[in-house]
Amino acid sequence: MRHDELIGQVQNRARLGSRGDAERAVRATLETLGERIPEGLCESLAGQLPHEIGEHLRRTEVYGGQGTGERFDLEEFLNRVVQRSGSPRPQAAFQARVVMEVVGEATSPTVMTKLGESLPEDLRTLVASGSRGDMGV
Q: The pTM is what?
A: 0.90
**Spacing of C-alpha 41 from chain mean position:** 13
* CATH assignment, 3-129: 1.10.490.110
Nearest Cα neighbor of 98 from 36, 9, 3 is 9
Cβ pair 135, 97 in contact under 8 A: yes
55 burial (CB, 10 Å; 0-12 / 13-18 / 19+) is middle
Task: Number of helices (H) and strands (E) in the chain: give both, helices first.
Answer: 8, 0
**Spacing of C-alpha 91 from chain mean position:** 14
Domain spans in the chain, listed from the N-terminal domain onward: 3-129
Cβ pair 120, 75 in contact under 8 A: no
Condensed to tens digits (0 to 9), the pLDDT of residues 17-59 reads 999 999 999 999 999 999 999 989 999 999 999 999 999 998 8
Condensed to tens digits (0 to 9), the pLDDT of residues 112-131 reads 999 999 999 999 988 888 77
